[in-house]
Chains A and B, each alone.
Chain A
Amino acid sequence: MNARLLPLAGFVLVLALLGFGIQWSRTHDPREVPSPLIDKPAPQFALPLLKEPEKKLGSADLAGQPYLLNVFASWCFACRDEHPILMREGKRLGVKLVGFNYKDEPADAKRWLAQFGDPYDVIIADLPGDVAIDFGVTGAPETFLVDADGVIRYKYISPITPEVIATELLPRIARLKQGVQ
């Protein structure tokens, strides 16, 4: 091998590294906080229902069937982008859609839902934001897929799009349902 080509080879190597870095930052959001809770049991919680605050819904009540936990709030602008998609596709997901109202005044949340519609099967309200911290929530919207055993299988940060539903959520939900039967 010609030793004169060695510097060129080194240059190409550095160039390839740069290219890889650019490609990586295009497909990965460096601001996205990776969740260490994937494939771990979801935290235990019991939170009041948004519409009937005297009643509580807990992780124990949700056990036995997979569900999708969607973190939303009336103060969250991105949730407005996500909302029509949940309204349209929510019922077609094939799992229970649990709304997680995050650090929101109940009155604001109810007004927001009255204005834009309510895609959720049930809504729990976390005004202090403690359970959200146990879930590793960094903001809204965020979505968790929890299986029948209460294990978090998937987390999506930022508004859900039809593509995410088609490529990420539906295949995972189908797999979970197969596992149950």
Chain B
Amino acid sequence: MNRFADAASQLPSSRRRPGPSAFWHAKALGPGLRRDDEKCGFTAILGIVFALAMMFSSPTYAIDPLPFKDRTEELRFQALTRQLRCLVCQNESLADSSAPLAADLRRDVFEQMQAGKSDDEIKAWLTARYSDFVLYDPPLHAGTWLLWFGPPLVLLVGAAAVFVIVRRRARLAPAAPRAAVRPAADVEDDW
């Protein structure tokens, strides 16, 4: 059962993934992480190698490797998933999240890219299911009008208030020549 038709053949056999239950059931960490004394030296070296590998790799590449055609496609995928919000860990982008749902959605985004969909079409597919919430950059429509124009509107109101106050003060000031009428000490009291 594949919803994106022609992409089916290019997929690895990971469609039936175990899901989150596998995570909960991984009670024991396995023999590799048990502390056997004679293995400690080897484990330490392994640890250093691992730490070095982590230093020189970007975290986004560490998540489920997908069979990209070329580097351009990979970069497009990275750029697109970084604009999308993970629905589970909402402060993470789809590119960074390790939530099972994020992995599923990355897979779907990838499949749609393979099926020749444009970025906008993929975004529309996602917003049809998860609303604008999935987009980090909210689109401009009636519902987001206040979000987009609210701050400049407040700024304009503030600027108008300042303008009106300044104009009124100027009008109230004595019409007589202003130069050096008041002592210098008074000037500072104005503010």
Q: Which residues of A contact B (CB under 8 A)?
A: 3, 10, 31, 33-37, 73-75, 103-105, 108, 127-130, 133-139
B104 near A: Cβ within 8 Å? yes
Q: Residues 8-25 of chain B: 1 if any A CB is under 8 Å from the residue's CB, otherwise 0? A: 000000011111111111
- Given contact pairs A37-B128, A133-B108, enumerate 14 new A-B contacts (beta carbons under 8 Å): A3-B168, A31-B90, A33-B87, A34-B133, A36-B128, A36-B131, A37-B129, A75-B21, A103-B100, A108-B21, A128-B104, A136-B130, A138-B88, A139-B88
Nearest-CB distance from B180 to chain A (Å)?
29
CA distance A33 to B88 in the complex (A): 10
User: Is A105 in contact with B88, judged by CB distance below 8 angstroms?
Assistant: no
Cα separation A3 to B1 with both chains bound (whole Å): 71
Q: Which residues of B contact A (CB under 8 A)?
A: 1, 3, 15-25, 87-88, 90, 100-101, 104-105, 108, 127-131, 133, 161, 168
Asked if residues B129 and A129 are in contact (CB atoms below 8 Å), the reply is no
> In the complex, which residue of chain A has the Cβ closest to the Cβ of B168?
A3
List 14 A–B pairs whose Cβ atoms lie within 8 Å, in order of A's numbering: A3-B168, A36-B128, A37-B128, A75-B20, A103-B20, A103-B21, A104-B19, A108-B21, A130-B3, A130-B104, A133-B105, A136-B131, A137-B101, A139-B88
- CB < 8 Å A-B pair total: 69
Looking at the assembled complex, report how far the CB atom of A125 sits from the nearest CB atom of chain B, in whole angstroms.
11
Q: Would you call the interface of chain B mostly helix, strand, loop, or mixed?
A: helix
B129 touches A105 (CB 8 A): no
Nearest-neighbor residue (CB-CB) of A107 within chain B: B21
Q: How far is the CA of A133 from the CA of B129 in the complex (A)?
A: 7
Please report the C-alpha to C-alpha distance between residue A61 and residue B59 in the assembled complex, in whole angstroms.
44
Q: Is the CB of A36 within 8 A of B21?
A: no
Residues of A within 8 A of B168 (CB): 3
* Shortest distance from the beta carbon of A180 to any chain B beta carbon, whole Å: 28
Known: A104-B21, A105-B19, A133-B108. A35 touches B1 (CB 8 A): no
Distance to closest chain B CB from A97 (angstroms): 23
- Roughly how many angstroms separate A128 CA and B105 CA in the complex, as a whole number? 11
Q: Are B131 and A138 in contact (CB under 8 A)?
A: no
CA distance A143 to B161 in the complex (A): 50
Chain B residue, CB-CB nearest to A74: B21
Residue among A108, A130, A138 with most chain B CB within 10 A: A138
Nearest CB in chain A to that of B134: its residue:
A33
Contact A129 B100 (CB under 8 A): yes
Known: A33-B130, A34-B131. A73 touches B20 (CB 8 A): yes
List chain B residues, Cβ under 8 A from A3: 168
The distance from the CB of B127 to the nearest CB of chain A, in whole angstroms, is 7
Cα of A127 to Cα of B23 in the assembled complex, Å: 14
- In the complex, A133→B111 CA distance in Å? 14
Give complex CA distance A57, B121 in Å: 30
Best-surrounded residue of B3, B133, B168 (most CB of chain A within 10 A): B133
Q: State the Cβ distance, B23 to closest chain A Cβ, in Å.
A: 8
B128-A138 in contact (CB<8A): no
What residues of chain B lie closer than 8 Å to A139, measured between beta carbons? 87-88, 101
Point out the residues of chain A lying under 8 angstroms from B131, CB to CB: 33-36, 136
